[in-house]
Amino acid sequence: MIVLGIDPGTLHLGWGVVHGEGNRISHLAHGVIDAPASQPLAQRLVHIDRCLEEVITRHRPSVGSVESLFFHKDAQAAAKLGHARGVVLLNLARAGMQVMEYPPARVKSTLTGHGRADKQQMVRMVGMLLGLGADLREDAADALALAVTYLRRAPVERALAQTTRRPAVLRPAAK
């Protein structure tokens, strides 16, 4: 299975592609889409749209793993992040991909064992796990962490979903 992880942003959007087979996870590609800060927001979103479409076309992932929206102290920053997420979700849906969303704390706990890991801890862990070293850009490391989170959590989530779905028991009618 090929998974595309995406860490949305209007200036720097991280992306990472991993392959999972059984318990093995391997790195395929990663990068950061840098949108020029000098451009208006709408133009940056167009740039992100085009670049992300190229990534999806090149790597053909079947699943997209995206950081879910979290409440930010700065309402304007949260709104801009929401615009970037909209472009991401549109691209994933247009490509017919399954989309999973994970909050930052879940991603951190999946990779490090606790939900309050700092950025450098996450960069080091992703680098070690995928054999990339620790010189990754934070946005790309976050995106790769999202992809890894999907591969680690999906089997457990599927198993839980199957155990909670119980067939209806037919009882004989009362006489």
What digits encode the pLDDT tens for the residues 46-94?
A: 999 999 999 999 999 999 999 987 666 777 777 888 999 999 999 999 9
CATH number of the domain at 27, please.
3.30.420.10
Domain assignment of residue 8, yes or no: yes
Q: Is 160 inside a domain boundary?
A: yes
For 78, what's the count of Cα atoms within 13 Å in the CB-facing half-sphere? 8
Tell me whether residue 45 is in a domain. yes
Candidate list 21, 118, 139, 157, residue with the active-site label: 139
Domain-embedded: residue 171: no
Residue from 157, 144, 160 nearest 25 by CA: 144
pTM: 0.88
- pLDDT per residue over 118-175, tens digit each? 889 999 999 999 999 768 999 999 999 999 999 998 877 766 677 766 555 555 555 5
**Domain total of the chain:** 1
Sign of the alpha-carbon torsion through 15, 53, 67, 19: negative
Q: Would you say residue 4 has pLDDT above 60?
A: yes
Cα 122 to Cα 113, 130, 144: the distances in Å are: 11, 12, 10
From 53, 54, 67, 157, active-site residue: 67
pLDDT at 87: 97
Q: Is residue 175 part of a domain?
A: no
- Per-residue pLDDT at 144: 98
Q: Which two tokens stand for residue 121?
A: 């801890």
Nearest Cα to Cα of residue 144 among 2, 9, 7, 1: 7
139 noted as active-site residue:
yes
Nearest CA to 66 out of 51, 84, 47, 49 is that of 84
Residue 169 placed within a domain? no
Provide DSSP, 77-142.
HHHHHHHHHHHHHHHHHHTT-EEEEE-HHHHHHHHHSSTT--HHHHHHHHHHHHT--S---HHHHH
114 neighbors 123 (Cβ within 8 angstroms): no
Assess whether 118 carries a catalytic annotation: no
**CA-to-CA distance for 171 and 80, rounded, in angstroms?**
55
| Least confident segment among 9-13, 30-34, 115-119, 154-158 | 154-158
> Is 7 tagged catalytic?
yes
Residue 172: what pLDDT? 56
pLDDT at 88: 97
Average pLDDT value for residue range 19-30: 95
- At residue 76, the pLDDT reads 78
- Is residue 170 included in any domain, yes or no? no
The pLDDT, as a whole number, for residue 133 is: 78
**Residue length, the chain?**
175
* Max Cα distance, the chain (Å): 78
By residue range, what is the domain housing residue 22? 2-164
In a domain, 75, yes or no: yes
